[in-house]
Amino acid sequence: MNTSTIRKKLSEYIKIADDKQVKALYTIVEREINEMEQWWNDKNLIDELNKRSEDLKSGKDKGTEWKDLKMSIKRSTVQRTV
């Protein structure tokens, strides 16, 4: 079963599950949900974002133009479907 199907089934299940079942599912993933919600507390992530921002501002990293990025994504998608 692919991830998309699993997401759909879980979403449908949560809509009809009773309170006890929803709380049990939440307990399983609570820590990960809380970590996702508080990404700004991840020092490594913030340091990396700051470094990349400074590299762009200073010209050390030239960045990528949107049209080039779009083309790269399209090529990557085509290669996967072949």
Q: What is the pLDDT of residues 2-20, one digit of tens each?
A: 999 999 999 999 999 999 9
Cα dist from 15 to 7, 8, 33, whole Å:
12, 11, 19
Q: Tokens representing 48?
A: 């990396």
Are 61 and 52 in contact by the 8 Å Cβ rule? The answer is yes
pLDDT along the chain (82 residues), means of 10: 93 95 93 80 92 96 93 83 59
- Identify the sign of the CA torsion 51, 57, 60, 64: positive
pTM here is 0.46
Helix (H, G, I), strand (E, B) or coil at 2: coil
